[in-house]
Amino acid sequence: FGAGVRWCALPGRRMIDGVVYTPPEQARRYFEKRLWIDLTVGEALRRTATRVPDRIAFASEEGELTFRELDEDSDRLGGALLAMGVQPGERAMFQMGTVLETAVALSACYKAGIIPVCSVPQYREIEIGQLARLSGASLYFVQADFSAFDLVGFALGMQDKVPSLERLVVARGKNDELKRLIDSVSLEEARRRLSHVKQSPEDCFVFQLSGGSTGVPKIIPRFHGEYLAHCDAWNKMHGMDEHSV
């Protein structure tokens, strides 16, 4: 995976060097057969928030987020990231636990066209260094209060070792920049900025990982329409619907 981003002739389509994309004719057949869903993840969240704004989207022992709150907070964070100079197509390393802030930050990236690299807080220099170099990640999200390990200090050290990791965003803790960014822009201004980000259901929206048996994790590109259909099928298989939390 290279760090470059190139644009092709298809409207809204952003192609990342090193990612293998589905040929247009094959993608068209997937959409026709409903094997893919003709939406981006951000559009799907917005539609759900419009339809059932007060229904719970995520719940944790610390609190809960309604679909409206998730949609609005992720809009504001996405708009703030664009305002600070992050460009659609850039990659973002994630080292955060299972907390509500993670859902907001991931959703913000999806809407802004920023590609999360979904690593885990337990990874250290070998894994993060390799993933950052492979993905060309320029943004770095960490959770300040994950266990006793100093993730913030670790991230600062990784920035010295991997020059591409230019921007660090700390969630939670004493210096909660994630909250500051959300509060830094109005919902109206954030949505205005996000409206200029053109995305296609065929675009890559996230880099997931596979450990495998040959050393460091491997990067797995996933695509908006493909992944939404995967989630829809998974929900149906397990009997989950829009009333499930």
pLDDT of residue 243: 80
pLDDT average, residue stretch 65-80 = 98
pLDDT at residue 114 tops 70: yes
User: How many other C-beta atoms can be found within 10 angstroms of the C-beta atom of residue 209?
Assistant: 17
Which is it for strands 204-210 and 218-223: parallel, antiparallel or unpaired? antiparallel
Summarised one tens digit per residue, pLDDT across range 22-31 is: 999 999 999 9
pTM: 0.92
Which is it for strands 167-171 and 139-143: parallel, antiparallel or unpaired? parallel
Q: How far apart are CA 58 and CA 81, in angstroms?
A: 23
Summarised one tens digit per residue, pLDDT across range 139-151 is: 999 999 999 999 9
pLDDT band at 216 (very low <50, low <70, confident <90, very high): confident
Nearest alpha-carbon partner for 185 in 58, 84, 37: 84
Using the CB atoms, write b or e for 113-134: b if 16+ within 10 Å. Answer: bbbbbbbebebeeebbbbbbeb
